[in-house]
Amino acid sequence: MVQVKEILTKALKKLVYDPLKIILKSRRGTFGLIIVLFFTLMATVGPLIVRYDPSTVNLSEALQPPSLKHPLGTDWFGRDILAMLIIGSQDVLFVSFVTALITTSVATFIGILSGYMGGKVDSALVAVTDIVLTIPGFPLLIVIASVLRTSNPILLAAILSITAWAPLSRAIRSQTLSLREREFVEMAKCLGMPSIHIIFSEILPNIMPYIIINGIFAFTGAIYAQVGLFMLGLAPYKSQNWGVMLNLAVNYAGAVFSIRQASLLAPAICIILLQVGLVFLSGSLEEVFNPRLRSG
Amino acid sequence: MPGNPIDVMINQYMQQGMSMEQARIMVSSLYQIDFSKPVWEQYIEYLQLIIRGNLGVSYIYTGVPVARIISYALPWTVFLLSISITLSFVLGIILGMFAAYRRNTKADHTITLFSTITNAIPNYVLALIFLFFFACVWKIFPMRGTRDPRIPPGFTLEFISNVFHHATLPILSFLITTVGSWILQMRGATISVLGEDYIKVAEARGLKGKRIMFSYVGRNAIIPLFTRLAIAIGYMFSGSVLIENIFTYTGIGYYLTYSVTARDYPLMQGCFLITTLAIILSNFIADLLYGFLDPRVRIER
């Protein structure tokens, strides 16, 4: 029992306390962590405490300036902007997270397989990756999303990752190629270990930091593509999303010229904050994984 | 095909009182489609036409060849992208080298922080904020369009200044969101070149600081950036879709989304083809540039 406790505290120290210490040491890391935590809370706990239903239209309260009742004011349909923002964050974060998950897993699988197997498998996979790399990602996304018109978040995430995996897969392949030549992998091969074992316990742990960092970048890329798609109005309006808010703000600005700052600026600032926070956090995580980058 | 516009057309003609046969003949002559052939044969015909530069006829702008719409739209996109990429690359290189030469000073920290933040901002969000403040609130720049239609096109000062007036906000949104990555890359490249032995030798030989900066540090640090520049040009074609839509800037990206929402498949394929060609071409140029700029790669081959 004592031993279990000791192992647990050790693991906790290694996986939580030590990285946290490094992250909190730098101002950027702290900022990034706070922002990411803030938006995670907003997306998970937020919808439970929202007082207004963002889908009900109440024209008598349309276009109100910020007040105690509506901290960010209301939009053209009398919907509370803060409530829309909170409900919208749920969709943005969930879809982007699933997209990042799909993108990094596909990229890792194809990259490692291609780099480790070599030969014909490698050349075939490299050819596929090269072809996908030349497809213009966002235009293809527009075409597919407008044809499928899905409001299923998982399917949307799958569409978003159609071309996003290729650059990462190429990078992971080259990492695997260089790892394959290292002594400890050669050693494992000489000892007659099965390929599965070598991939999972020799190669994967060594590129894991790289995968996690790039997973965060996949997340920011997914936010960019997803919100952009909704902003163009090419995905269905069913879901509450920051992109839909931006789209409405733009369209109504064009129509009546009496734009309410909050309906445009609130989602815009949220997107910027979230993106900057994620990039800062990834920079700090890089310091966690790579001791040479740490200053002092 | 979901939302097949040809079916819609045939239905429309039939509702106007034509027979199925008549409607089909009408549509097939309007859009040069031969229904008697299987789809794959039609596709091969389409490919053959593309090689001859014929991209078909737009469904929405009835009778207008897609090639003509693209030839009208492409110059605007190229104009927008070439100016913003050149500005952002040159500015990025200057600021990146500046930051690397003054590394770990206050100036360096400010530049790096600025680059990291602007690099993370999505270009369309910045474009929307610009549109809101500069075009809606302060009305300094026009809200939409590529030029004022009242001014006749030509090499007059009035026309050119009007075009730039319309292009300022799109260019600024591109410039600010891309300059950061050039700054960071140039800073990293310069720092690693500054640690090379040949720089120390050049210093020991008593060469002037400016000469070392331009012919030794700058030249070597810039090589990897040039190849990335070529690739970035291709990707910016894809990114310009959102910017062009926000400013209603009638380039390739604008027509792409327009054709997608209008189900104008020939125009959509044409725009998509041009964007893909831009990416392939820029990758090709990147490969060529690499061998051209870096003699080491040439000798090894």
Task: Tell me how many residue pairs between chain A and chain B have CB atoms under 8 A apart.
Answer: 102
Mind telling me how many Å the CA of B150 is from chain A's nearest CA?
21
Q: What is the pLDDT of residues A34-68, one digit of tens each?
A: 999 999 999 888 888 877 776 677 767 666 667 76
For residue A257, the model assigns a pLDDT of 47
DSSP conformation class of B57: B
Q: Where in chain A are the domains?
A: 95-279
Mind telling me how many Å the CA of A5 is from chain B's nearest CA?
41
Give the span between the Cα atoms of A129 and B177, in whole angstroms: 27
> Mean pLDDT of all residues in chain A?
84
For residue A279, the model assigns a pLDDT of 93
Alpha helices, H only, B131-218: 157-194, 197-204, 209-211
Please, is B16 exposed, middle or buried when counting C-beta atoms within 10 Å of its C-beta (0-12, 13-18, 19+)?
exposed
Q: What is the pLDDT of residues A187-240, one digit of tens each?
A: 888 888 888 888 888 888 888 888 999 999 999 999 999 999 888 887 766 667
Which of A136, A147, A250 is closest, CB to CB, to B275?
Answer: A136
- Pick the more confident residue, B220 or A35: A35
Q: What is the ipTM of this complex?
A: 0.85
Residue B105's pLDDT band (cuts 50, 70, 90): very high
Which of B117, B119, B280 is closest, CB to CB, to A134?
Answer: B280
pLDDT of B30 higher than 70:
no
B282 close to B226: Cβ distance less than 8 angstroms = no
Q: Per CB distance under 8 Å, which residues of B are interface residues toward A?
A: 2-3, 113, 116-117, 119-122, 124-125, 128-129, 131-132, 136, 143-144, 234-235, 237-239, 241-242, 245-246, 253, 256-257, 260-261, 268, 271-272, 275-276, 278-280, 283
Mind telling me how many Å the CA of B2 is from chain A's nearest CA?
7
CATH topology of domain A95-279: MetI-like fold (1.10.3720)
> Mean pLDDT of all residues in chain B?
84
A246 close to A272: Cβ distance less than 8 angstroms = no
Mind telling me how many Å the CA of B89 is from chain A's nearest CA?
22
Give the span between the Cα atoms of A230 and B119, in whole angstroms: 21
For residue B300, the model assigns a pLDDT of 53
When pLDDT is averaged across residues B243-261 and rounded to a whole number, the result is: 88
Among B125, B245, B274, the residue to mutate for chain A (most A Cβ within 10 A): B125
Which of B125, B132, B257 is closest, CB to CB, to A142?
Answer: B257
Give the span between the Cα atoms of A52 and A72, in whole angstroms: 13
Residue B184's pLDDT band (cuts 50, 70, 90): very high
Please, is B36 exposed, middle or buried when counting C-beta atoms within 10 Å of its C-beta (0-12, 13-18, 19+)?
exposed
How is residue B217 written in tokens? 């540090």
CB contact under 8 A, A250 and B246: yes
